[in-house]
Amino acid sequence: MLKVLMATSEAVPFAKTGGMADVCGALPVELKRLGHDVRLIMPAYPSVFASGQPIEETDVRFDIPIGNQVLTGRLLRSALPESDVPVYLVEQHDFFGRVGLYGEGGQDYRDNCQRFVFFSRAVMETMRLLEMDVDVVHCNDWQTALVPAYLAIEYRGARGFESTVSLFTIHNLAYQGRFWHWDMLLTGLDWKYFNWQQMEFYGDLNLMKTGIVFADAINTVSPRYSEEIQRPPLGCGLEGVLSNRRECLSGILNGVDYGVWNPATDSALSQQYSIDNWREGKARCKAALQERLGLLRDPNVPLFGLVGRLVEQKGINLVYEIMQRWSHQHPVQWALLGTGDPRYHRQLQELAHEFPNRVAVRLEFSDELARQIEAGADMFLMPSRYEPCGLNQLYSLKYGTIPIVHETGGLADTVVDTREETIA
């Protein structure tokens, strides 16, 4: 049995901006089922209190040095739904009592370095004050990338940390937590670590690089992506660092919690279905989706779905180009859900206005509607320029919806192309 503390900036059902939240909300439950002692720690955002999960106060308070200040926080406690996996919530209202997790209005918060220095320090102090004797502290993306550094530099061998090692998971290398060099002062670490081999990156402080350098083990979310990030362009400037640590780097494919994503039990659907009645079930779900989105009700019209960030990394420029051409040439329908680049917001809304019975665009995120698109669409679009793993293609396969994907990263690892040799 391993004692594991998973440190993350988001986890379902408490807070979510991307697939990392799904993984961090599901993986601890599975590890617990396998017999490990697993706990989760994350910031206490307003969405945490709106999640409906019971939250308890604890006696734990901590004073965290941030540069020349000492800031106070406290620890709350909850649990993952339908499990006994404890969730520790770091409350610091000035940093985490905001609407967004990392920013608002398309702009990052200017004090993100301070916010996640505080959180990373709080992770270390939580382990110390609660005497957890953790075997593995599992960190996720740049927001927790300082934890391996603090463990290696300040806590290694200290009481309660004698056998603690760090695992650093890269969910998306493109988001690196890159800040100006003077923010090194906020970390409390010696300037000697601000060098090209450790924390410095072209004159800036780079937290993703820091996690890669100091972690005892590194993994990313698919085998293909673990290879792609060791060379340009998907190495995003860190390909040399990753290549140097390739012996410690693994690609482990993300999975899906089929207790949550299952058309046979999904309460968001107008009709639940399984492999035994999928034709009838999908037909009814398609009709219900067309009605909800104001599309022409026609069972024979191909309906394409897309759920995700409306940005070029996700291939939205390609999708828009095809939508524009095909909407004039073919009787097809489109159902898009998500937010992203305001330029594509405007273009997609104009297209929806021009073809109101065939193009539906919802610039929001709705878990219910996302599920209805997965079930009601005939085909699901994921033409990402790069994709560390991706989860929606896995949901699509479960819901009987054909995923159309770009051969990259985890998409290449999970979707079998329709070729002569792959047709059963």
| pLDDT > 70? residue 97 | yes
pLDDT at 389 (0 to 100) = 95
What tens digit of pLDDT does each residue of 12-59 get? 999 998 889 999 999 999 999 999 999 999 999 999 999 999 999 999
C-alpha span between 270 and 61 (Å, rounded): 47
Phi, psi dihedrals of residue 81, rounded to the nearest 5° = -55, 140
Q: How confident is the model at residue 185 (pLDDT cuts 50, 70, 90)?
A: very high
pLDDT score of 419 more than 80:
no
In angstroms, the CA 2 to CA 14 distance is 25
| Contacts (Cβ under 8 Å, ≥6 apart) of 369 | 292, 337, 362
Residue 423 has pLDDT above 70, yes or no: no
Q: Would you list the DSSP string of 122-187?
A: HHHHHHHHTT---SEEEEESGGGTHHHHHIIIIITTSTT-TT-EEEEEES-TT---EE-GGGHHHH
Q: What is the mean pLDDT of residues 373-389?
A: 97
The pLDDT assigned to 418 comes to 79
User: Using CA atoms, how far apart are residues 391 and 395, in angstroms rounded to an integer?
Assistant: 6
Query: Residue 365: what pLDDT?
Result: 83
CB 316 within 8 A of CB 339: no
Helix%, strand%, coil% for the chain, nearest 5: 40, 20, 40
**pLDDT score at 424:** 59
Cα–Cα distance for residue pair 27/253, rounded to 1 Å:
12
pTM: 0.92
Q: Which pLDDT band holds residue 420 (cuts at 50, 70, 90)?
A: confident
pLDDT given at position 251: 98
Domains of the chain: 3-251 (3.40.50.2000), 278-422 (3.40.50.2000)
Chain segment 270-309, per-residue pLDDT in tens: 999 999 999 999 999 999 999 999 999 999 999 999 999 8
> What is the pLDDT at residue 105?
81
Summarize the confidence of residues 115-128 as an average pLDDT: 98
pLDDT in tens, 338-350: 988 999 999 999 9
Q: pLDDT tens digits, residue range 256-271?
A: 889 889 999 999 999 9
